[in-house]
Structure 1
Amino acid sequence: MKEAMDLIGCLCIHGFTGDPWEVEPICQELQKLDGWLVYSPVLPGHGKELSALKGATYEEWVYTVEVAFEELQKRCTDVYVIGFSMGGMLATYIAARYSVKKLVLLNAAAYYFNPKQFLKDMIAAVRYHFTGNQEEDQLIDLYEKKFRETPFAALAQFLQLVQKTKPYASKIRVPTLIIQGEMDGLVPMKSAYHLYDIIESDEKELIAMKRSRHMIFHGYEAEEVINQIKDFLLESSQERKKTT
């Protein structure tokens, strides 16, 4: 077992209205590695009962990930950060302000709402209610619960967080991997392109997953996404191909 200060830390941040289940597959894989300390906090107001979001603020979400990162930093030699959806925007904030070793952004919500794919998803939802059939990765019941139970005040906090954190991406200098699902109805490819363009790192890469929806770790290409992340985190900067 490695000494405490030889540990490698990884902070995994879930998305808006979500919980650590969203990033659980990558957390479980990284926890198998010797000497890794992986942590995925529940953001205030999030979890199973979305009504608790009514009183939550974006400042609390920012504070939670700051404290989590600082705690990992005390225990680990290096700390990586992985952010999904809104968690990706929180991750850009952390990477711009703290000593992050590497950054991974997954369907990060610098921009949100993909009208073309969203319409397809709505048609699929109507079909599901008539036939009971859906593709394994569509998760229609989950999204309908989110739309039905999320307080409007929480949505306003989400919008504020995106606007407050978006400028920090231009201050990122660490190696960054951006992965975006092309079939994501909530976050468009535009978001990934924007982040790729403004991140100032000399080592950055953008991967588009053709069959992936928003819940990228719970879809058809989840294994490939996990492997891409592990390769990026475990390989040295000399081994990984640079994309500029």
Structure 2
Amino acid sequence: AVKFMKNDADNPHINYLLCPVSSFVQVKKLMRSVGRRLADIQIPALILQGRQDPKVAPKSGPAIYERLGAHQKRFAWIEFNRHGIVLGPIAREVFKEVESFLGACRLIDSPKQRNARIGQAQK
């Protein structure tokens, strides 16, 4: 029989309320495998973590940041006390952080560049 563990989901409308224990084992294996290869990651990387996330150890985000091989990398705390940071009232702050990082890495126009470009196009 498959064993299940109760899941106190931040977003019960999209998360399982019961999770198979085997899935936690697989996630742990994946985390170990990725952790061993963090220095190999050379592309721009943004690490965001809720400061009071009840599901992630506080040292995780900073540790990942330190071990990344990327030259363009950023770590930022999101002032939130839940795990899901891309939904609800905190999402705007998260998306601003993502937009800022992408602009700094020149992967997208910064809001200032975009507004200037739009202004030029309207003349």
- State the TM-score bracket (shorter-chain normalisation): 0.5 to 0.7
**Cα 1:211–1:149, aligned 2, differ >3 Å: closer, same or farther?**
closer
1:185-241 CA deviation, whole Å, 9 max, x = no partner? 11122110111111122221111012252100124321011111123224427x99x
Gaps of 5+ in 2: 3-7, 111-123
Taking the aligned partners of 2:88 and 2:57, their CA distance within structure 1 comes to 17
1:121 matched to which residue of 2?
none
Equivalent residue in structure 2 for 1:230, among 99, 102, 105:
99
Equivalent residue in structure 1 for 2:32, among 160, 163, 175:
163
- CA RMSD for the aligned pairs? 2.9
1:9 matched to which residue of 2?
none
1:172 matched to which residue of 2?
41
Residue 43 of structure 2 corresponds to residue 142 of structure 1: no
Residue 46 of structure 2 corresponds to residue 181 of structure 1: no
TM-score where L is the length of structure 1 = 0.36
Equivalent runs, 1:50-199 vs 2, <5 Å: 139=10, 142=12, 146=16, 148-199=17-68
TM-score where L is the length of structure 2 = 0.67
Residue 79 of structure 2 corresponds to residue 210 of structure 1: yes
Taking the aligned partners of 2:36 and 2:62, their CA distance within structure 1 comes to 15
2:118 matched to which residue of 1?
none
1:101 matched to which residue of 2?
none
| 2:46–2:101 Cα contact (<8 Å) kept | yes
Gaps of 5+ in 1: 1-53, 55-124, 126-137
2:66 alignment partner, SS class:
helix
1:56-113 CA deviation, whole Å, 9 max, x = no partner? xxxxxxxxxxxxxxxxxxxxxxxxxxxxxxxxxxxxxxxxxxxxxxxxxxxxxxxxxx
Stretches (4+) displaced over 3 A: none
1:179 alignment partner, SS class:
strand
1:220 matched to which residue of 2?
89
Query: Displacement, 1:155?
Result: 1.7
User: Identity percentage over the alignment?
Assistant: 24
Which structure has the larger Rg? Answer: 2
Structure holding more helix per residue:
1
Taking the aligned partners of 2:103 and 2:66, their CA distance within structure 1 comes to 24
| 1:177–1:205 Cα contact (<8 Å) kept | yes
